[in-house]
Amino acid sequence: MFKFISKIYKHLLNLDGHIQAPPITWNTSLIGAKWNYLKNAFIDAIRPNKAGQQFFDIMVHHPDEKAAKTACEIFEHETGIKMYMTNPEGAQSFSTNANILIRWIKEGKFPKQIKHIIIGHGAGTTVDDTWHVAFEPNVKIDDFIVQRIPKGEMVLVNCCEGTPKSLRHLIPKDKPAIGKSASEFDSTYTYPAKVVISGQKGIVGGYANGILTLYK
């Protein structure tokens, strides 16, 4: 009985590694992560980071491509990390990204091997190599990346996928960043942001709550 209870305990806390993600803690749990997100959003509202606020103000006002590029340049100037937006359509969905990432960078929670970030809405799915920029079906996200980022470099990608029901059985259960209909910085076990290697097809890891997981 003790072994059975121990097995259940380890499974619930992801101590057995059935999901390729960190063990469950307050900060990575659904409730804890959402609490931290709301707490930090409140802090950002009353004591905003200047660059994060400038980024937010641009993104919430339906920017065109030029304005979205300016927002990404503001982030790069603040952090030294290059950011690209695939398409400014629906940019307000990414308005808090800069504040979240700047906080983790300052706290030492951002992977040093990642020097590039891609944001924007995505469609299609990596499970059948149709992942593409939303509203631009002829622009694959892999191609968008390799045209801008040297091959072999690691990239953080905050773009969704849209895996049709007929293909969802192909989504690996232990790799939560693959094939999912959302991409979130506070969702360790369900919808983490994606990590890719420029020039290499497929998703090699996930990043959420300030923790990088590279898939085996």
Is 16's pLDDT higher than 80? no
Which pTM does this prediction carry? 0.94
Instruction: Please report, for the chain, the start and end positions of each structural domain, with discontinuous segments joined by +.
Output: 48-214
Overall average pLDDT of the 143-153 stretch: 98
Transcribe 25-79 into DSSP letters.
Answer: -TTTSHHHHHHHHHHHHHHHHHS--HHHHHHHHHHTT---HHHHHHHHHHHHHHH
Confidence of residue 15 (pLDDT cuts 50, 70, 90): confident
- Half-sphere CA count of 15, side-chain side, radius 13 A: 8
Q: For 36-93, write each residue's pLDDT tens digit.
A: 999 999 999 899 899 999 999 999 999 999 999 999 999 999 999 999 999 999 999 9
SS3 2: helix
Summarised one tens digit per residue, pLDDT across range 93-137 is: 999 999 999 999 999 999 999 999 999 999 999 999 999 999 999
Q: What is the pLDDT of residues 154-204, one digit of tens each?
A: 999 999 999 999 999 999 999 999 999 999 999 999 999 999 999 999 999
Query: What is the pLDDT, as a whole number, of residue 116?
Result: 98
pLDDT, greater one: 2 or 187: 187
